[in-house]
Amino acid sequence: MPHRAINGKPVNPIGLGCMSLSWGYGALPERKTAIALLNRALDLGYNHLDTANIYGLGHNETLMGEALKGRRNEFFLATKMGIVIEGEKRGIDCSPASIRRCIDESLTRLQTDHVDLYYMHRRDRTVPIEESVGAMAELVKEGKIGSIGLSEMSADTLRRAAAVHPIAAMQTEYSPWTREPEIAVLDACRELGTTFVAFSPVARGVLANGVRDVAALADNDLRRTMPRFNGDNWPANRALVDAFCTIAADCGVTPAQLSLAWVLSRGDHIVAIPGTASIGHMEENFAQADWTIPADVAARIDALINQHTVAGPRYGEAMQRTIDTEVFGDGWIDG
């Protein structure tokens, strides 16, 4: 498939988000299954893997380090820092001291001497973005990180950061049912030469037709805390998904493949990192990566699923306050 690039390095347009191997969506896969999934991904041609220090409180990085330590030169490795979890308490710390401590801890868990991309997972409003980026720039000079990324931040923050050091990537949720990047960030990324990395490009499994009954989700599934899945909003959203699945069937692709193709069609500076704990779903996500969505099909999706038709914001108020992305001004409070 045609490659895209992050920091000038070629990557396949579909990478692998690794979070769900360690946290987030209910029961975790057995360790041997997770290790098999990571290696199968590389065998298929995935060459961009994304993790973070908080996924499973270090479990995800440790898993990847153990599973792939003999294959480090086969993939572009990204991880993140900045979110701090202590028991039930969650905070953000992007101070220079924390950035330096966290990269060393991550490198140890990942069993490598460098990562290709290091993200600030959230904006720390107590530390100027310029100061945090300056600390990360020092890590670039030292060879511990290849490039700098931001996650869930605004176009204005991106521009301020880029004035200090080139920003290789901006990672934010993006799919037909989460459109906020279209307000400003996609254009800012194109302007600055920053790759936009779309997480949850199949809408947290929804546009893969992976959620039929919200009541069946595990108690520890993070989607249970999201307004779009509550009793008021889910029936309307489920109807949108049913119509979306019909479009996918008309195209001869799966719903997940249709959603991924839609995301990638929004610009050649965009890559997607769908996550899964299923080897079958991982293979499915990659199987039609070279399929180009027809313009008329993209238009049907745009008319069906957008910021006016999706019911509810993606985050509740508490989580919304932790992110820095633009919001729509028409009553939608999605971030």
Write out the catalytic residue numbers: 55
Residue 28: DSSP 8-state: P
∠173-178-148 over CA atoms, to 5°?
20
Q: Which residues pair with 270 in a beta bridge?
A: 196
Query: Torsion over CA of 90, 93, 97 and 103, rounded to 10 degrees?
Result: 70
Task: Tell me the two tokens of residue 298.
Answer: 């993209």
Burial environment of residue 141 by CB neighbours within 10 A (0 to 12, 13 to 18, 19 or more): exposed
Please report which helix (H) or strand (E) contains residue 117, including its range.
strand 117-120
Q: How far apart are CA 140 and CA 112, in angstroms?
A: 15
Burial environment of residue 76 by CB neighbours within 10 A (0 to 12, 13 to 18, 19 or more): buried
Strand order in the sheet with 117-120: 16-17, 48-50, 76-81, 117-120, 148-151, 169-173, 195-199, 270-272
